[in-house]
Amino acid sequence: MQFLKSVFLAMVCLLSSSVFAEQQPVVQVNAPFIDMHTGPSGDYPVFYVAEQGEWITVVMRQRGYFKVVTQDGTEGWVPEMTLNNTLDANGNPVKVTASGLTGFLEKFQ
């Protein structure tokens, strides 16, 4: 019985992690660079610069900023309009709208 519980919990964890990963869009920096701040405001210092061609995962939206994570795990915040300088996974320009990023970030309203 304990074995079945363990298998069930493992399956639930795997399924929920894959669903969670699908909800976090990945975009590619298309500008020469994007400044990443330590917090969701221009008052926070820039501590990292994501360079052109670098892939970042969009995690959440707060007060006009998006929290992003680079491929090496660096977490920071970028102004929402900065994401206009990125491409989606198909190479299409990302457009920030009032409701999120066109096509895939409406959940961050």
Q: pTM score > 0.75 for this model?
A: no
**Contact by Cβ (8 Å): 71, 62:** no
Asked if 46 and 36 count as a contact pair (C-beta separation under 8 A), the reply is yes
- The CATH number, out of the four listed (3.40.190.10, 2.30.30.40, 2.40.30.10, 3.40.605.10), of the domain defined by the range 24-108: 2.30.30.40
For 53-104, the pLDDT digits (tens) are 999 999 999 989 999 999 999 999 999 999 999 999 999 999 887 766 555 5
The domain locations on the chain are 24-108
Distance CA(57)–CA(80), nearest Å, equals 13
pLDDT given at position 100:
61
Q: What is the pLDDT of residue 17?
A: 41
